[in-house]
Structure 1
Amino acid sequence: MTVTRPRGMTEQAAQAAVDQACRMLRLPTIRRQFGDLAEAATREQQTYLGFLAELLLAECDNRNRRRSDRQIKAAAFPRRKSLREFDFDANPHLDAAIVHTLAACDWVAKGAPLCLIGDSGTGKSHLLIALGTEAAMKGHRVRYTLAAKLVNELVEAADDKQLNKTIARYGRVDLLCIDELGYMELDRRGAELLFQVLTEREEKASVAIASNESFGGWTKTFTDPRLCAAIADRLTFGGNIIETGTDSYRLAQTRARTADAH
């Protein structure tokens, strides 16, 4: 298919030609916006080069947004969370500067781990999802899962003789976010399978976890002391540890609303 280019085309013919060319070149943003941008360029007396730059930048911006949306969707976060929504004033244990430095995602590029440790309601999952979202927006492949769900999937894969394939799939993402580690005791088989996933990613790709147990309490989750130590080593070596404290932000909010109601 070719685009006809008659000389001295009318305004209507030019618009039709641009529309046709944008469809062929798959430039949906330019196709939607070139009319408005052309009018703005005329009003502002832009040069041809300036007008072209506006068109191309609009297309690039939209492609980046669509790419970010695809990456965020592929991460399978259970809900949307952002750092802008996080109330750092409500949690004095957290250093906002450190968290925002992590949002630059250099640690993801380096394949370093991240541990978010604290009691329920202190913002661990919020930060895990928010930092995972930041990584996805920067073009990293991210996957979110609950610890128990991941272990169940690994056990089923092992039973179906698909374990290597499943571990390889989790090994391909740049950042694996594991939430609610420590909420459930894992039997030896489940812990060993999780260990295989962590070993596959060690010093190559990042793992970020959120746990309600301090490292000293991980023996409740991983009952084999040697395996527990090995997993803790995989998740902390060369990484970042953020402690969110023990004071539940959600509980404090509930108490405040109750007090206001009375």
Structure 2
Amino acid sequence: MSPRKRGLTEEAATTAILQACRMLRLPTIRGQFPELADGAARDQMSYRGFLAELLMAECDDRARRRSERRIKAASFPRDKSLRAFDFDANPNIDAAVVHTLATCEWVNKGEPLCLIGDSGTGKSHLLIALGTEAAMKGFRVRYTLATKLVNELVEAADDKQLSKTIARYGRVDLLCIDELGYMELDRRGAELLFQVLTEREEKNSVAIASNESFGGWTKTFTDPRLCAAIVDRLTFNGAIIQTGTESYRLAHTKAQTEHADSA
């Protein structure tokens, strides 16, 4: 029944709406309905149109909150976005390729991504930004440093919790592994990492950032056969972006220094 048929005053109707929104857990409608109602009256909106506006506002806000929760659950160390990435500063990186990756079709297909280049060339920025795009599109994402992941796997193996840990990393849609190649891993650590990659192979995506070309990965994975198997897992049907050797962070700092000196 409408408020008029129930004999409610405008004040009583507002109170009833607030109570109903609390019971039905509709916080966005509760917060926005007075403003939307005033706008609907001004625009002479139909009842159906007003109801649609209310429900769409609630749905949009719930989608935003879900995205925020997924981004938080990914454990990114800092906020990075594609909008903030300076493609002009690094001509090695094709903006069209990156924006195609931002559609996350590769995540949907369970394909890998490798970002290879020296420090300061934008690898981690792109890794986090593309991971954030995936989280915003509804995928479950997890970010970790390579050494942190290996240490966690070793501890899990010692505590006889390895299968649970590998299964947990296997469930996320996109696993982002940063700083792969910065440290040499012993055979046990490399084998445990290989188990995680094998668990995800052709099912869920892995994206890595490394300062070493694939030919230099034998410094990280000292067993050549294991190294070759890991490279195979991370490149099969995947995308490879070479970010180059020129640090644009260093170039930016030098430019600022030169500008300050000339001022």
Q: Same fold (TM over 0.5)?
A: yes
- TM-score of the pair, normalised by structure 1: 0.97
> CA offsets, 1:105-143, max 9 Å, x none?
000011000000011000000000000000000110000
Structure 2 counterpart of 1:181: 180
Counterpart amino acid of 1:132?
G
Deviation at 1:88, TM superposition (A): 0.2
Distance 1:6 1:80 in 2: 52
Distance 1:7 1:159 in 2: 67
Deviation at 1:259, TM superposition (A): 0.3
Quote the RMSD (CA, aligned, Å): 1.1
Deviation at 1:5, TM superposition (A): 9.8
Structure 1 counterpart of 2:224: 225
Deviation at 1:6, TM superposition (A): 7.0
Is 1:116 the counterpart of 2:115? The answer is: yes
Distance 1:44 1:169 in 2: 51
- TM-score of the pair, normalised by structure 2: 0.97
Counterpart amino acid of 1:151?
V
Distance 2:158 2:248 in 1: 41
Between the aligned residues of both structures, percent identity stands at 81
Contiguous gaps of at least 5 residues in structure 1? none
Distance 1:149 1:213 in 2: 18
Counterpart amino acid of 2:155?
E
Alignment of 1:20-35 (within 5 A): 20-35=19-34
Structure 2 counterpart of 1:212: 211
Alignment length (residue pairs): 259
Distance 1:123 1:30 in 2: 41
Deviation at 1:261, TM superposition (A): 1.2
Distance 1:191 1:57 in 2: 49
Distance 2:176 2:43 in 1: 48
Distance 1:7 1:30 in 2: 21
Distance 1:18 1:100 in 2: 43
Alignment of 1:98-117 (within 5 A): 98-117=97-116
Alignment of 1:99-248 (within 5 A): 99-248=98-247
Distance 2:4 2:126 in 1: 54
> CA offsets, 1:121-176, max 9 Å, x none?
00000000000000000110000000000000001111111111110110010000
Counterpart amino acid of 1:187?
D
Is 1:36 the counterpart of 2:35? The answer is: yes
Distance 2:184 2:257 in 1: 34
Alignment of 1:6-85 (within 5 A): 7-85=6-84
Counterpart of 2:207 in 1: which secondary structure? strand
Structure 1 counterpart of 2:253: 254
Distance 2:52 2:88 in 1: 42
Distance 2:126 2:47 in 1: 45
Counterpart of 2:6 in 1: which secondary structure? coil
Distance 1:187 1:41 in 2: 66
Counterpart amino acid of 1:221?
T
Distance 1:138 1:238 in 2: 22
